[in-house]
Amino acid sequence: MEEENSNLFLRVYERLHDYYGEQGWWPGETPLEVMVGAVLTQNTNWGNVEKAIGNLKDRGCLSFEALRELDQDLLAEYIRPSGYYNVKAKRLKNLLQMIEDEYEGELAFFFEDSLESSRENLLRVKGVGPETADSILLYAAQKPVFVIDTYTHRVFSRHQLVEEDTDYFSLQQEFMDSLPSDVKLFNEFHALIVSVAKEFCKKKKPRCSDCPLQRVEEK
């Protein structure tokens, strides 16, 4: 049973990898940029996030020190294109404050901390939920955590590969129990799921007939 499931999930990965090839996520030049992007992309189109990050770069504010010194209302103005700019400015400040408090303001210390400890610290930050925390851990800190998002849930439940009403933690456990714990695999797999969801598994008009995952559940 567990073995069958493992093969199934890996088969999904292989199908997607064959279809799309390497994804090379996360789009971001530095771990800090990845962290900021993880917060800004909450329920938000990535294109808008790029504009917001572009603003921060233009202002020379895309560093830990610069962001710490930046006034919250000004930060909100810079990240305006990404939407929810007031709450997100606060959330970014909360995140920076946590690193200040727990890691002496050293990003490197945070990235070097254990998976368990850094995850707990992230989840204590107001505005950082499980997906944002795990995105930071996987894509910025390079820790082996599988990131679950709405696309993951939609694609896998549409294909009846997981229960419809499973929660974040249960779904994550299924992936991590079924797959070898490998940063590169988790990174690529999640990125591939986003790609296939965007192309074939839209909320309103899915194009199931051309989807590379059709009949993946058959041996």
Partner DNA sequence: CACCAGGCAAGTA
Partner DNA sequence: TACTTGCATGGT
For DNA, which is the closer residue by CB, 65 or 208?
Answer: 208
Token digits for 42?
């909450």
For DNA, which is the closer residue by CB, 26 or 189?
Answer: 26
Smallest CA-to-CA distance from 122 within 52, 61, 35, 186 is with 35
For DNA, which is the closer residue by CB, 61 or 95?
Answer: 95
Candidates 43-51, 64-72, 102-110, 175-183; binding stretch for DNA (CB under 7 A): 43-51
* Residue 182 Ramachandran class (φ > 0 left, ψ -120 to 50 alpha, else beta): beta
CB of 126 to DNA, least distance (A): 5
For DNA, which is the closer residue by CB, 6 or 94?
Answer: 94
Candidates 7-15, 33-41, 171-179, 208-216; binding stretch for DNA (CB under 7 A): 33-41
Angle at the Cα of 62 from the Cα atoms of 109 and 185, rounded to 5 degrees: 60
The reply to whether 204 sits near DNA by the rule CB under 7 A is yes
CB 141 within 8 A of CB 65: no
- List the one residue from 68, 184, 198, 207 that touches DNA (CB under 7 A): 198
CB of 127 to DNA, least distance (A): 5
Per-residue DSSP letter, 62: -
- List the one residue from 12, 15, 16, 26 that touches DNA (CB under 7 A): 26
Site map (CB under 7 A) of DNA, residues 70-89, x = contact: ----------xx-xxxxxx-
For DNA, which is the closer residue by CB, 11 or 154?
Answer: 154
Give the Cα separation of 74 and 89 in Å (integer). Answer: 9
CB 110 within 8 A of CB 99: yes
CB of 89 to DNA, least distance (A): 8
Give the Cα separation of 7 and 11 in Å (integer). Answer: 6
* Residue 191: its H or E element: helix 183-200
Near DNA in 110-169, by CB under 7 A: 125-133, 135, 139, 149-151
Smallest CA-to-CA distance from 8 within 189, 197, 168, 179 is with 179
Near DNA in 46-65, by CB under 7 A: 46-48, 51
Give the Cα separation of 167 and 172 in Å (integer). Answer: 9
List interacting residues with DNA (CB under 7 A): 25-27, 37-38, 41-48, 51, 80-81, 83-88, 125-133, 135, 139, 149-151, 194, 198, 202-204
